[in-house]
Structure 1
Amino acid sequence: MTRTRTPKPKAEQSTAQRLSSVIKSVRDIMRKDKGLNGDADRLPMLTWLMFLKFLDDLEQNHEAEAEFEGRPYRPVLEGMYRWRGWAKSDVTGDDLLAFINNEKYEVEPGESIPGLLAYLRNLQGEGNRDRRTVVAEIFRGVQNRMINGYLLKEVVQKLDSLDFTSSEESHTLGALYEGMLKEMRDAAGDAGEFYTPRAVVRFMVKALDPKLGEVVLDPASGTGGFLVEAFEHLKEQAKTTEELEILQNRSVIGGEAKPLPYLLAQMNLTLHGMESPQIDSGNSLRHNLSEIGDRDRVDVILANPPFGGEEERGIQNNFPADKRTSETALLFMQLIMRKLRRQTHNQQGGRAGVVVPNGFLFSEGVGARIKQELLEEFNLHTIVRLPNGVFAPYTSIPTNILFFQRGEPTREVWYYEHPLPAGKKNYSKTQPIQFDEFAPLLDWWTNREENERAWRVDVSAIAGNNFNLDIKNPNAAQDFEHMPPQTLLADIMHKERRILELLEELQAELGQKADMHA
C-alpha cells in the first residue's frame, strides 16, 4: 500500500518577510525597465510612488475620523489624482505614462486636465506647514524615468498591497527603506556625500540627548539620518496625547537644497511616523547671518555639513566680511553657531554636535577666526577624534566630532581618541563602524578622567598656537602596527643606536673598574 505524504502547511510569513518580498518584487520589475539605470534611479522612483500610497492611506484615516466626528474634510489631493483614483484604475501602458508625465492629459477628445506630476508640482497650500505645500515641494524635482507603462502598472499594483495605516507595517518599511538608502549610497559614489554612518549618528544623538519640547535642527539634512534618529529618540519620551502633539509639532526640522536627498529625507521621516516633515528645500546658507534672530534659533543642532564644496559669491556675502570664504564647511560652522539658542538667566544655551574634517582643526585665516569665536563665545567641551575609514568608501579624509554649547567661553577642551576595534586596520563598506563600539566613550562621557584615549588641553595653549585644535594624544602608546615603514625603520635605528651607546658606556665603565682592581 502506497503511503501518501501530507504536505506540510507553509509557515505564515511575518510582516517583515512579506513586506521585504513586496519590495523585492517591485525592484525586480523595475530592473526590466530600460529607463532606469541602477539603484540611483530605482530608489527615487520607488520613493515617490510609496509616498503617494502613504498619503492616500493617511487621508483615509483622516476622512474616517472626520466622518465619525461629523465634520467636513477636504483631502490634500482631489479626484483621480489620489492614489485610489489612478493606481486602482484600468489605465495602463502608454495611457498611464501620458497621465503621469504630460503637462496636459486628454481625458476625452477636446477635454484635458493637468498630468499627475504637473498637478502635484503646482499644489498650493496655506503656509509652509500645509501638506499641499509640502507635497508641491517634494515633487518639484520628481520625474518618472520608467518608459514601459505596463511594467509601471505592475509596480503600482504591487505597492497597492502596502498598508501604511498599520503601525507595524510602517515601522518595518522604515527599516527596509533605510537599508535601501544605504544600498543606493554604496552604488552611487556621489550619493555618499550626504551619508553619515548610522552608528555615528546614534552616538551623537545619545551624547546630546534631546528632550521633548526642544527643537532639533540639521541644516544639511541629506537623506534625514540625524532627523530620523532624533525623532525616534524623542518619540520614546512622548507618552500622552499632548506629548505626541509636541513631538509632531516642530520637534525636528531640517534643510536640504538638493532635490534627490530632499525627497528621500521626506519619505524617511514619513515612514518613521512624522506626519508633516519640516525640511526647507532651499540652501540653508542663503540667509544673511546678521538677520538671524532669537525666533530662528534652536535648542540642538546635529550636522555633518558637506566638506570640500564651494559656495558662490552671493552666498559668501551673507557672512561677516572677515569670515567670508567659498569653503562650504566653514560657512556651515558659522551658521550652526549663530542658530544655537542664546543662554538666558534661567535657560542654558543651545548645544551642537558637528562632524568636521581634520583640515578644520588646523585651518588658518578664516578658519582660525571662526575657531577663535567658537572658543570665546561657546564652550567647545569635547572633540572626538574618529579613526581612519569611518566614512569609507565615500572619503578617506580623517574626521572629528565637535561638541559645543552656547553661553560660557571654553576653559578647557576634552579630547577622546576613538580606537579601531582590536585587530582591525581600517573600516570598509562591508565592515563599517558599529554603535556598540561607542559604549566605552558613552560611559566616559558622564564620568571623565584622563586615560590612554582621553586627555584635556587648557584653552590658553590652543589660543597661543593660533587656535590650532589638531592636538595629538599625549597618553597613547606608540602604534607600531600602523606606523609608516619609513617611520618604523627610523625608530628601530634610533633605538639600536641608543642600545649601542649604552653598551659602549657599560663597556667603558667595566674597563675603568678592571683598571682600578689591577
Structure 2
Amino acid sequence: MARTKKSTGPQTTAQRLDSIVKSARQIMRKDKGLNGDLDRLPLLTWVLFLKFVDDMERIHEDEAALAGQPFHAAIEPPYRWRDWAARRDGITGPDLIRFLAAEETIRPDGSKGPGLFNYLRSLRGRNGGRDRRDVIATVFAEMTNRMESGYLLRDVINLVDAIHFDASEEIHTLSRLYEGLLREMRDAAGDSGEFYTPRAVVRFMVAVTDPRLGETVLDPACGTGGFLAEAFEHLKDQVRTTEDREVLQGRSLIGGEAKRLPYLLAQMNLLLHGLEAPDITLGNALARQRLAEIGERDRVNVILTNPPFGGEEEVGIQTNFPEDRRTNETALLFLQLIMRRLKRNGQGRAAVVVPNGTLFENGVAARVKADLLREFNLHTVLRLPEGVFAPYTDIPTNVIFFDTTGPTRDVHYWQQPMPEGRRKYSKTAPLQFEELADCLAWWKTRGEDPRAWRVPAEDLIRTDDEGRVVAVNLDLKNPNAREVEDHRAPAEILQGIVAREQRVLDLLREIEALVAERA
C-alpha cells in the first residue's frame, strides 16, 4: 500500500500557532527549574502577556497619533517587549535571567536600573484611577522566573515573538489554544483544580441568564475566568456601535479571585477573548467588606459563579456576616454575599453552582435558604448527574437560579439524566452542552416533562411553634422517576459497596485527625 504524503502546503493560522505553543512547551521541558505544567503554563502565560501588552500598546499609540491625542504608554522604554525581547539575538543567557529577576541590573540599553519584574511591580495607574498599569503591577506583584537557563528562555521568547496579537484571527485562534492549555492545567492541578467549571455548565448558565449589554456581570470567585469569558462572548454579539463597544469594554464584566495563579491565567484568558483591561480584583471577596456595608452602588445585574465549597473560612472573615448567619463553610458565605450583591426590584439575577450539602443542611444553612426563598425568587434548581466535576470531586452538584423578583412561589426542578448507555462522566468524556438541549427547550415553557417537577416554596420551610426556621430541604428527588433495575454483575455491585464504605472510613479518619489537632 502506498504511503500518503504529508501536505507541504502553507500552514494555517491554527497550525502555525499550535506549532509555536508546542515548540515552546518542548523547550521548557528541557529546563531543570520547571516541574510539570503547573510551572510551565504560568511562565508561558507571563511571556504571552508581555508580548500582548506591547502589541496592544502599538495599536493604541497609532490610534492616538491619528486622532491627534497624546499617548501614555503603560510600560516605558527600555522595558517594553520591543526593547529587550523582539531581537532574536538580543539579551540572553545569565544576562537575561538577571534582567528579569534582579532588584537592580544593567538594562538592554546599557543603563542601570530596576530589573524587569521589579519595574513592573512598581507601576501605578495615572490620576488615581485604575488602568492597565495597575493590572500589570498586580500580575507581577509576586512573579518569579522559575526557568534556570536564560538560553532556553530566549528560545521561548523568540517563538512567542512570532505571534501577532494585532491580528484578530491570531488572537481568536490562540484563545482556543489557551483554553486547551487551561484544561491541561486543570488535569495537572489535582486538588488545586477547584477553580475550573466544565465548559458545558458555563455555557448553559450564561445562556439562560442571558446578560444584556449595559448590565454588569460579576463572578466573585472567577478562577481562570471561564464565566467572564463566556459572558464576554455573549455580550459581544450585541455590540452594534462604537458606544456599545465602549460599554462592553469599560463597564460590563468584573471579577474577583483569591489565588494568584488563577488570577494570572484569568487575565490572559480574558485578554485573548478581547477584553482589553480585565477588571479582576486579587483577594478573597468574602474578606473585602462587611455584608451590611454592601449598598446599591456595589450591586450588579448578573452573578455567574462556582464558588469554592468544602473549604473553611477563618473567624476574621466570618465576622463580616450577621452573627446568626456565620459559618466556616465557604459555599454558604458566598451564597450570602451573592444575595447581597444583586440589584433589587427585579433587576438582579444569579446562577450559582452549589454542592448537595447546601441543599439539605440545616442550622445556618437552613436560615440562609429561608432568606433565599423569602426574599428572592428561587425559580429553578438544575440537578446535575454524578461525575460532572470528576475526577476532582465526586460530590453531587446543582445549579441554583434566582432573581430579585421574589419572594419564591414555586421552585422548578430539572433532573439532568445521564446519556443512555453511560454510567458516569470523566475528564476524557465530560458533559457536552448539546446534552442540555432538552433543558434549554423546557426552560421558557416549563411544560410537563418526566425530568421536571414543581414544589411550592411553602412546603420547603419547616418552622417551630415560635416561627423559627428549623429546616429547609431543597434536596428533593424526582417524583416522576421510576426505580431502575440494576443490571450490574453481583461482584461489581459488591465492589461499589466496598468502595463507598472505604470512603466513609477515610472521612471518619480525617474527622478524627481534625478533632485531635484541635484538642
Superposed pair shares fold, TM > 0.5: yes
Q: Distance in 1 between matches of 2:427 and 2:193?
A: 11
- Which residue identity does 1:341 align to in structure 2? K
Partner of 1:255: 256
Offset at residue 93 of structure 1 (A): 0.1
Partner of 1:310: 312
Partner of 1:500: none
Partner of 1:472: 477
Say which of 357, 360, 374 aligns to 1:359. Answer: 357
The answer to whether the 8 Å contact 1:202/1:229 transfers is: yes
Tell me, yes or no, if structure 1 residue 438 matches structure 2 residue 419: no
The answer to whether the 8 Å contact 1:252/1:278 transfers is: yes
Partner of 1:295: 297
The answer to whether the 8 Å contact 1:386/1:417 transfers is: yes
Partner of 1:117: 117
Q: Distance in 2 between matches of 1:481 and 1:232?
A: 43
Partner of 1:492: none
Q: Distance in 1 between matches of 2:321 and 2:439?
A: 35
Offset at residue 69 of structure 1 (A): 2.3
Tell me the alpha carbon deviations over residues 266-295 of structure 1, each in whole angstroms, 9 at most, x when there is no partner: 000000000100001121011100110000
Partner of 2:342: 340
- Which residue identity does 1:470 align to in structure 2? D
Partner of 2:99: 99
Indicate the structure (1 or 2) with the bigger Cα radius of gyration.
1
Secondary structure at 1:81 match in 2 = coil
The answer to whether the 8 Å contact 1:425/1:482 transfers is: no
Partner of 2:327: 325
The answer to whether the 8 Å contact 1:184/1:191 transfers is: no
Offset at residue 138 of structure 1 (A): 1.2
The answer to whether the 8 Å contact 2:78/2:107 transfers is: no
Q: Distance in 2 between matches of 1:88 and 1:365?
A: 60
The answer to whether the 8 Å contact 1:377/1:409 transfers is: yes
Q: Distance in 2 between matches of 1:448 and 1:141?
A: 50
Partner of 2:412: 414
Offset at residue 9 of structure 1 (A): 8.0
Partner of 1:195: 196
- Which residue identity does 2:39 align to in structure 1? D
Q: Which moved more, 1:170-179 or 1:475-484?
A: 475-484
Offset at residue 483 of structure 1 (A): 8.8
Q: Distance in 2 between matches of 1:118 and 1:334?
A: 39
Tell me the alpha carbon deviations over residues 435-463 of structure 1, each in whole angstroms, 9 at most, x when there is no partner: 00010000000111232100011111101
Partner of 1:207: 208
Q: Distance in 2 between matches of 1:430 and 1:168?
A: 28
Offset at residue 112 of structure 1 (A): 2.7
The answer to whether the 8 Å contact 1:141/1:260 transfers is: no
Secondary structure at 2:486 match in 1 = helix
Partner of 1:272: 273
What value does the CA root-mean-square deviation take over the aligned residues? 2.0
Q: Distance in 2 between matches of 1:128 and 1:389?
A: 44
Q: Distance in 2 between matches of 1:482 and 1:196?
A: 32
Tell me the alpha carbon deviations over residues 78-104 of structure 1, each in whole angstroms, 9 at most, x when there is no partner: 111100011034211000000001111
Tell me, yes or no, if structure 1 residue 153 matches structure 2 residue 154: yes
Secondary structure at 2:78 match in 1 = helix
Change (3 A) 1:413 1:482: farther
The answer to whether the 8 Å contact 2:99/2:107 transfers is: no
Offset at residue 327 of structure 1 (A): 0.8
Alignment of 1:383-398 (within 5 A): 383-398=381-396
Offset at residue 159 of structure 1 (A): 0.3
The answer to whether the 8 Å contact 1:178/1:268 transfers is: yes
Secondary structure at 1:472 match in 2 = coil
Partner of 2:18: 20
Offset at residue 141 of structure 1 (A): 2.7
Tell me the alpha carbon deviations over residues 194-248 of structure 1, each in whole angstroms, 9 at most, x when there is no partner: 0100000000000101111110000000000000000000001112111111110
Tell me, yes or no, if structure 1 residue 167 matches structure 2 residue 168: yes
Offset at residue 11 of structure 1 (A): 1.2
Q: Which moved more, 1:93-102 or 1:67-76?
A: 67-76
Offset at residue 188 of structure 1 (A): 1.6
Tell me, yes or no, if structure 1 residue 37 matches structure 2 residue 35: yes
Tell me the alpha carbon deviations over residues 127-166 of structure 1, each in whole angstroms, 9 at most, x when there is no partner: 4531111110111132111000000000000000000000
Question: What is the aligned-residue identity percentage?
Answer: 61
Q: Which runs of 5+ in 2 are unaligned?
A: 463-469, 495-519
TM normalised by structure 2 equals 0.89
Secondary structure at 2:419 match in 1 = coil
Change (3 A) 1:9 1:173: closer
Offset at residue 29 of structure 1 (A): 0.6
Partner of 2:499: none
Change (3 A) 1:216 1:484: farther
The answer to whether the 8 Å contact 1:393/1:428 transfers is: yes
Q: Distance in 2 between matches of 1:225 and 1:408?
A: 28
Q: Distance in 2 between matches of 1:356 and 1:8?
A: 49
Offset at residue 484 of structure 1 (A): 11
The answer to whether the 8 Å contact 2:377/2:406 transfers is: yes
Q: Distance in 1 between matches of 2:233 and 2:263?
A: 19
Offset at residue 250 of structure 1 (A): 1.7
Tell me, yes or no, if structure 1 residue 87 matches structure 2 residue 81: no
- Which residue identity does 2:202 align to in structure 1? V
Tell me the alpha carbon deviations over residues 95-123 of structure 1, each in whole angstroms, 9 at most, x when there is no partner: 00000011111359x96310001111111
Change (3 A) 1:67 1:139: same
Partner of 2:374: 376
